[in-house]
Structure 1
Amino acid sequence: IARKEKIEAAAKAWARKKEKEIVYLGENVSAGLNNLQDSDAERLKKNNLTDIASAEQLAALMKIEMGQLRFLSYHRAVSRVSHYKKFTIPKKTGGVRTISAPMPKLKTAQHWILENILDKILLHDAAHGFVNKKSIVTNATPHLKSEVVINIDLKDFFPSVHYPRVKGMFRKLGYNEAISTIFSLICTEAEQDEVEIDGVKYYVKDGNRKLPQGAPTSPAITNIICRKMDARFTGLSKKYGFAYTRYADDLTFSASGDALLKLKQFIALVKKVISSERFTLHPDKFKVMRKGARKEVTGIVVNEKPAIEKKKLKKFRALLFQIEKEGSIAGKKWGNSKNLLAAIKGYSNFINMVDPVKGKSLIDRANKILEQHKFAHVIVHKAKPKVEPVVIQKTTSTVSQSQYVSTTTAATQQVAPEKTDSKKPWWKFWS
């Protein structure tokens, strides 16, 4: 009887502990979960963030039960459930892009982290992708009328950022080991294989945890991680007489005149920085556009003023004329989109953003077509409730505002030229 009572008492004690603490979240990720004392109050204050002392406090702030927090952050080798829905969409350049869209409960948790933590962090001025009041136009503008423009793409940008690096980012923001672990597990996913045994589907871990392309937190995390790289490239560019901007994984450098005498040396140094920052240059997406050639930056022609490629603009006008003349959209397409009307809406908005003079008439024509064909473009964010922000005391950052800008939940503000999926375009999967 005494033994039974001891077992029952131990079970109750363990149950109480689980209600207030998270002591294990899976193999190779749980070592620091007991370390709740090493937060950096000075860094948290500098970043305008509140200290979160425990998993219990975090769950309360997120307004979820401890059991749900544990479920969302648990690192499983084998599971019968997945927190992500995976699918592919076509790329403009060919091939497919794999999207890992978080399920509603995980997406809600990610939005909480985004709005209460990541959005508060100051970014480098060179960052333009998923940044408040910035766009592909602001990214292209510094390169106008340059004699040479260099476009570089970072290969597998989100997937190349693994769990330890994400955890290190949260630690550098000032959070303790335990909270940084939980945040990093929520914001990353493990590579998985789907295996079916006796009619039951299992998800088996088959690789490292990494940033998912489709999570609302991924763009903000990469922007924060890239602050050092952006600063290095800005300094290097200034030294050699170049301009530099970054839109997510697209890096652009430009220069004119005597600066081009050291072009080869400059490119070699750029490649060196990319490698030292643990990224990989995409060999098929490295372009040097020289004097006399058409120069594009994030889809915008920058030879003189921000402009749309003439050939593509002419083709779009022809598409609108055809639909207006025939009164039918049957058999017609724009880009890789499965939804022609959504693609027309997206591209006309893109033109208007780049060139409002040309864009106004095209938007009017596009809207008439959309109205005629009863197009209703409604995106419902079921997993994005109104989140009450964490209330903290205002502080003054020591970081220069001229060098850094504040990040935002700006995925919904980015405008891209085409819609590539009938339900939601890829650039809005982060919203």
Structure 2
Amino acid sequence: MTYRAFLRSLAFILDQGFWHEEAALEQVLDALPTRQRQAKWPRRLIGRIFTTFSRYTRPSFGELSRFLRGDKDLQADLKRLTAIPLIVWRPGDQTRPHPVLRISGDLPILKSVRDLASFLRMPVNSLQALADVHSREVRTLDARHRHYNYRWIQKRSGGQRLIEIPKERLKHAQSQLLECILRHVPVHEAARAYRRGLSLRDAVEQHVGQRILLRIDLQDFFPSIGVGKVRQVFRHLGYPSVVAMHMAGLCTNVVPQAVLETTSSNHRLSHVYQLPHLPQGAPTSAVLSNLASYRMDARLTGLAAYWSMQYTRYADDLLFSGDSLSAAQVSRLRTQILAVASDEGFRIRRYKTKVMRAGRQQSALGLTLNSQANTMRRDFDNLRALLNNAVRHGLESQNRDNHPKFLEHLAGRVAYHRSMNPKRGARLDRLLSRLTNE
């Protein structure tokens, strides 16, 4: 085996295998002849690689190749051998999840694009069209030929949010990936949104009654999670690069320019939507947003511990709480949070960053947190006034947004208040029952 072929094969094995020090060493040793598996040079090589590159972000094949070509220590080690070792790649060993992941259940083994197409029960050419790895959606003028329907909605805080709704065929493929793969992958404990069995109360409980509460919002959360991070999720699950690329393609989207021209939103919003990103409206996006944010959650949890604080994230809302900090310490902490978020590809909504100390109202996620998790008084008063007016003047007189199922919508809002504050909920229930009995 020539030296160049040896380096190319070595880079390929590291690129296709798991990005974890022990697993990478095991994969390299498995590919070597038996007599070389006790040698010290593979262990030293893996140590240098993981010292050079981040343990959390896998380098590309090109970066690995350049590192190996320039590694003088590897060259010196190989010169001591009588011959360049023969490397044999065993692809069947590469479809296991990352060793540090605690997967619940067995994931489907998919070694090729053909395997993925078979798993999704569609022809390979249909899979390639839906995965759209070349971002043809952005150039598709005829809405009938697009993979998504698009709808702009107004944000409460102002501005607009784009809802990208996958069409039936793509939605079915995404749902299969969600139920058969993504649902079985654990997210970071700090991630509290989009998790079965966790309520809004669970998301804020540990921040109740703290001396200081810091609330920070991430800007454009879903569109800021690009295809690279999504692909990395599937690579960590053990899927080969080309399979992970098509899985990521199925779960991300680029928005046609014609759709963006229908809104007055700012230039940055248009820019992020024209890069492959998580579409808000796809069944896979919520779970993938948590998985793709795992490293950020781990880093911010460590940062919070350094300041003797607690950290949780509910979608794009970052919450830190704990003992009181001075104004200078809060400023340092906020700068450090900004640096971590920026390093992870996110931006902070500076105008929505709030520091709330004990003695004043502390609120997050529409709840007050001073002594117990409770609904905001103004929200309760507004809903009570709406129900009173509906009783007096008729239900439809209050349906200013033309909600198609307005009574069910009101019942859901009342149930939310009841779950957080039974006394307030009972007062709202009495008004709601007068509407349902009419």
Partner of 2:126: 68
Equivalent of 2:161 in 75, 97, 104: 97
- The whole-number CA distance in structure 1 between the counterparts of 2:131 and 2:434 is 47
Counterpart contact for 2:212–2:324, Cα < 8 Å: no
Q: How far does the alpha carbon of each residue in 1:352-400 deviate from its partner, in whole angstroms, 9 at most, with x for none?
A: 222234324524642552564xxxxxxxxxxxxxxxxxxxxxxxxxxxx
Partner of 2:212: 148
Bigger share in strand? 1
Q: How far does the alpha carbon of each residue in 1:230-250 deviate from its partner, in whole angstroms, 9 at most, with x for none?
A: 111112212212111100111
- The whole-number CA distance in structure 2 between the counterparts of 1:370 and 1:96 is 34
Partner of 2:397: 331
- The whole-number CA distance in structure 1 between the counterparts of 2:273 and 2:332 is 40
Q: Percent identity?
A: 29
Q: How many corresponding residue pairs?
A: 329
Partner of 1:50: 108
Gaps of 5+ in 1: 1-30, 196-204, 373-431
Matched, 1:160 2:224: yes
- The whole-number CA distance in structure 1 between the counterparts of 2:117 and 2:433 is 45
Taking the TM superposition and a 5 Å limit, the aligned residue runs for 1:71-220 are 71-74=129-132, 75=134, 76=136, 78-79=139-140, 80=142, 81-194=145-258, 207-220=274-287
Counterpart contact for 2:341–2:348, Cα < 8 Å: yes
> Mean Cα displacement is larger for which, 244-253 or 54-63?
54-63
Equivalent of 1:350 in 416, 431, 434: 416
Taking the TM superposition and a 5 Å limit, the aligned residue runs for 1:272-421 are 272-326=339-393, 328-333=394-399, 340-363=406-429, 365-366=431-432, 368-370=434-436, 372=438
Q: How far does the alpha carbon of each residue in 1:256-305 deviate from its partner, in whole angstroms, 9 at most, with x for none?
A: 34687732222222112111212111122211122322111111110111
Q: How far does the alpha carbon of each residue in 1:124-172 deviate from its partner, in whole angstroms, 9 at most, with x for none?
A: 1111100111122111111111122111111111111111221122112
- The whole-number CA distance in structure 2 between the counterparts of 1:369 and 1:211 is 40
Q: What code does the residue aligned with 1:62 have?
A: L
TM-score (norm 1): 0.70
Counterpart contact for 2:395–2:435, Cα < 8 Å: no
- The whole-number CA distance in structure 2 between the counterparts of 1:336 and 1:244 is 39
Equivalent of 1:40 in 94, 104, 117: 94
> Mean Cα displacement is larger for which, 160-169 or 357-366?
357-366
Q: Decide whether aligned partners of structure 1 residues 40 and 355 sit closer, same or farther in structure 2, where only a CA change above 3 A counts.
A: farther
Q: What code does the residue aligned with 1:73 have?
A: A
Name which structure has the greater RCO, CA cutoff 8 Å, separation 6+: 1
- The whole-number CA distance in structure 1 between the counterparts of 2:355 and 2:273 is 38
Matched, 1:238 2:305: yes
Partner of 2:35: none
Structure 1 or 2, whichever has the larger Rg, is: 2
Counterpart contact for 1:127–1:248, Cα < 8 Å: yes
Bigger share in helix? 2
Q: Decide whether aligned partners of structure 1 residues 319 and 272 sit closer, same or farther in structure 2, where only a CA change above 3 A counts.
A: same
Q: Decide whether aligned partners of structure 1 residues 334 and 356 sit closer, same or farther in structure 2, where only a CA change above 3 A counts.
A: farther
Partner of 2:41: none
Counterpart contact for 1:147–1:290, Cα < 8 Å: yes
Q: How far does the alpha carbon of each residue in 1:167-189 deviate from its partner, in whole angstroms, 9 at most, with x for none?
A: 12211221001211110111011
TM-score (norm 2): 0.68
Partner of 2:338: 271
Q: Decide whether aligned partners of structure 1 residues 58 and 258 sit closer, same or farther in structure 2, where only a CA change above 3 A counts.
A: closer
